[in-house]
């Protein structure tokens, strides 16, 4: 059976086109193969392409090498920068050391020789910076007597409401001398009691303030030790609010350094600053009877640049004094513990004068 005429015509046209295409391509290649100049040009172009490819490869290799060199330079630069920063840090430290030594020499020259002192434990600080100007056995633990009342005053002032009335209870009056002679049922403000205790160091008043502040004296002692922990005072333990000897076996001690921290914090409280600067205080009893209280701090009375703080004495603590003073914009706090009866005033004033010279 023969195909239809339309299909036959399509097959004929396709075979004719294939034949023409084959003939044309054959003629092209035959012509190229037989032309030496054309072959030469083709060869030259191939060589040119090969050369360009080789050049590209060489350039890639060079770029890779340059990148490695750049990375190496970066590492080298980073190392040099680190070394330079280290040198700058070391130089700054040396410069700071030099300036401190120079300043110490200048201060030593301005202050003159350190006074001869008999106190066993001493520290002098700049309360604005916390810098220690002088110290002697500043971390030795021991009794601090009535200078304990600085911490008592701090807690009372931090609680606030100093004009609140306090009713004296019988337990407040039951303590060893020094006592002001409070009577059960008497009413005073916290401010009155705080002023009296810091001026005259009455132990019955310290107990009344403690009990009023925390509910019981025992609870107040817990507050005292908790506050020490907050301040980072690891060498202080308190057993009462006044500094009298604790019961046998009950620990109670502090150091000159820890006490200076408490004193410096008290020094930031305007209420305490004002009270400890009083040379005397007229304490008015509920029956309108007045008791003239003289400040136990002799340095406050004898040295015009002294403006506080607190005295103390027990057999274990010896004679103690924390005193503050200011001159020409320089403020200092001196802590003297375990001194003699006459030595505590002489040492404290001499040290304060010496520290305030520069």
**Per-residue model confidence as pLDDT tens digits over 236-275:** 999 999 999 999 999 999 999 999 999 999 999 999 999 9
CA dihedral (91, 96, 102, 105) positive or negative: negative
Distance of CA 30 to the CA centre of its chain: 96
Residue 170 has pLDDT above 60, yes or no: yes
- Give 298's contacts (C-beta < 8 A, 6+ positions apart): 345
Specify the pLDDT at position 34. Answer: 66
Give the DSSP letter string of 204-216: HHHHHHHHHHHSS
How distant, in Å, are the alpha carbons of 68, 73, 155 from that of 63? 9, 15, 74
Dihedral of the alpha carbons of 209, 213, 214, 217, in degrees to the nearest 10: 0
Instruction: Provide, for the chain, the percentages of residues in helix, strand and coil under a 3-state DSSP scheme, each rounded to the nearest 5.
Output: 55, 15, 30
Measure the CA angle with vertex 214, ends 139 and 245; round to 5°. Answer: 45
Distance of CA 17 to the CA centre of its chain: 97
**Per-residue model confidence as pLDDT tens digits over 61-104:** 989 999 999 989 999 899 999 999 998 999 999 988 898 888 88
User: Could you give the CA distance from residue 196 to residue 344 in angstroms, rounded to a whole number?
Assistant: 22
How distant, in Å, are the alpha carbons of 74, 188, 299, 338, 340 from that of 343? 68, 36, 12, 10, 5
Quick one: average pLDDT of 19-27? Answer: 44
User: Could you give the CA distance from residue 250 to residue 238 in angstroms, rounded to a whole number?
Assistant: 9
pTM greater than the 0.85 cutoff: no
The catalytic residues are 146, 149, 201
User: Could you give the CA distance from residue 331 to residue 20 in angstroms, rounded to a whole number?
Assistant: 115
User: Could you give the CA distance from residue 137 to residue 132 in angstroms, rounded to a whole number?
Assistant: 13
């Amino acid at each position: 059976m023969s195909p239809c005429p339309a299909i036959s015509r399509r097959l004929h046209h396709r075979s004719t086109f294939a034949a023409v295409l084959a003939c044309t391509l054959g003629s092209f290649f035959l012509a190229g193969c037989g032309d030496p100049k054309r072959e030469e040009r083709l060869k030259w172009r191939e060589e040119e392409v090969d050369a360009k490819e080789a050049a590209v490869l060489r350039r890639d290799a060079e770029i890779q090498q340059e990148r490695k060199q750049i990375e190496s330079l970066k590492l080298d630069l980073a190392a040099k920068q680190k070394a330079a920063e280290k040198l700058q840090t070391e130089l700054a430290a040396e410069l700071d050391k030099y300036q401190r030594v120079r300043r110490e020499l200048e201060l030593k020259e301005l202050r003159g020789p350190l006074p001869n002192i008999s106190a066993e434990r001493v520290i002098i600080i700049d309360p604005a910076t916390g810098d220690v100007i002088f110290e002697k056995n500043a971390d030795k633990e021991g009794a601090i007597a009535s200078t304990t009342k600085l911490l008592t005053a701090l807690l009372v002032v931090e609680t606030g409401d100093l004009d609140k009335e306090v009713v004296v209870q019988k337990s407040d009056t039951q303590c060893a001398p020094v006592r002001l002679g409070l009577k059960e049922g008497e009413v005073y403000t916290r401010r009155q009691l705080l002023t009296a205790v810091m001026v005259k160091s009455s132990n019955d008043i310290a107990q009344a303030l403690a009990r009023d502040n925390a509910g019981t004296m025992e609870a107040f002692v817990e507050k005292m030790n908790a506050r020490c922990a907050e301040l980072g005072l690891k060498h202080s333990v308190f057993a009462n609010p006044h500094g009298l000897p604790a019961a046998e076996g009950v620990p109670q001690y502090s150091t000159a350094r820890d006490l200076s921290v408490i004193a410096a914090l008290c020094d930031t409280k305007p209420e305490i600053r004002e009270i400890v600067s009083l040379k005397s205080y007229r304490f008015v009893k509920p029956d309108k009877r007045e008791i003239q209280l003289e400040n136990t701090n002799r340095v406050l009375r004898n040295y015009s640049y002294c403006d506080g703080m607190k005295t103390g004495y027990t057999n274990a603590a010896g004679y103690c004094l924390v005193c503050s003073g200011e001159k020409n914009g320089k403020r200092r706090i001196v802590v003297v513990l375990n001194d003699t009866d006459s030595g505590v005033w002489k040492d404290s004033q001499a040290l304060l004068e010496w520290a305030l010279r520069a």
